[in-house]
Amino acid sequence: SMKQIPFTVPTQATLTRRMERGSSEEFRSQSGGLSEPTSPLNVKRPSVEIPGAYALGSIDPSLYKIVDEDDDYEIPLDHIGRVWFAVEYERETEKLLVTLMKAKNLPTRQYGNNSSCDPFIRLYLMPDERRYLQSKFKKKTCNPKFEESFVFQVSYRSLQDRVLKITVYDVDRHRRHNVIGHALYPLKDHGAESNERLVIWRDLEREVTESTADKGELLVALCYNNHLERLTVGVLEARDLKYENQPSDTYVKVCVLVQNKVLKTKKTEVLKKTDSPNYNESFTLKLPVTSLDAASLSLTIMQHSSGHKDKIIGRVILGSFMFARGKELDHWNEMVANQRDQVTQWHGLV
């Protein structure tokens, strides 16, 4: 389990125009091979404003030919892709350089068509899940080549408690950002190799919600239009619902709250007995931009039975950092950051 550390904001990096590197530096892959030292990289604008973190220019792919040996790997059962990346920590400047190289065998949205995937990647330094650096978007490929570098400013002491999380998304034709999976790399594993560049690959793991086994999950789509000050909530489907006896009729109650006061309540249609109901309903609600930080969204799956009081099966609370944590907070923040795009995610019921 990941060690909990207090949340700290990294110090503001001095953004130099170039990262100078000594010509004698060796870059070593985990298989022990060597590649040529890199040339200095041009710093570009950050893709997301994070204190002490920014994106670098494209890299020279010839520096990384070593990883191509792994291209024809045996694909494990239930595989959702593999990602290659390089990590280097400069202790003198307290800079963590992460180079995204490529991903392979990402799932296709259309069986038999391996160009039905439009991926991009986000990098997080856990336990901070609120901020990230993002790759460029790639079109129509299950085997994207990124060749992009990113810099995080992080002290050597806190490096031991940080975990690099690489999350791969697919953008579907409705511009929804769907999580394919993630890879974790604890940076304490890297500590002994300081000032060497390790080339690493990891198989992607599916996002798992902690409470899946308890009560089930709900697939929710969020979209916020800042010009119209309008929140659209899509209640799509539930899975693995746990009932007291046999499957019952269910519906979802959607409440928008501001400062914990209910602003609006909506309900889906009642669906007949199933443990994986497809609701496929969306609701549009007025929500001022000025209320976004104080807003939360409660989605409650209710068990409906005539002649008896409806019972709660479970609920999901989405919202700003005042009301939500983990994946529920991430989903809200992603909606705010991607105005007018629909962002869809599974959430465990509590």
Question: What's 33's domain CATH number?
Answer: 2.60.40.150
Query: Which pLDDT does position 299 carry in this prediction?
Result: 97
* Mean pLDDT of the chain, nearest integer: 77
pLDDT, tens digit (0-9, with 9 covering 90-100), for 183-214: 999 887 775 455 667 788 999 988 654 444 47
Which domain-ending residue is among 139, 174, 203?
Answer: 203
Q: Do 156 and 221 fall within a single domain?
A: no
Residues 186 and 48 grouped into a single domain: yes
* CA angle, 132 then 55 then 45, to 5°: 105
Return the amino acid letter for 29: S
Domain count, the chain: 2
Residues 23 and 153 placed together within one structural domain of the fold: yes
pLDDT tens column, 114-161: 778 999 999 999 877 777 899 999 999 999 999 999 999 998 888 888
Give 72's strand partners. none
Where residue 247 falls among pLDDT bands split at 50, 70, 90? confident
- Range 200-210 burial, b when 16+ CB lie within 10 A, else e: bbbebeeeebe
| Any domain includes 8 | no
Query: The domain containing residue 314 runs over which residues?
Result: 212-348
* Dihedral sign for Cα atoms in the order 165, 322, 213, 247: negative
Q: Which of 150, 168, 203 is the last residue of a domain?
A: 203
For the CA atoms of 130, 318, 179, 52, what is the dihedral angle to 10 degrees?
-10
pTM over 0.75: no
How far is residue 129's CA from residue 331's CA, in Å, rounded to a whole number?
A: 11
What confidence tens digit (pLDDT) does each residue in 274-325 have? 878 999 999 999 999 999 988 999 999 999 887 788 888 999 999 987 788 7
Q: Is residue 177 part of a domain?
A: yes
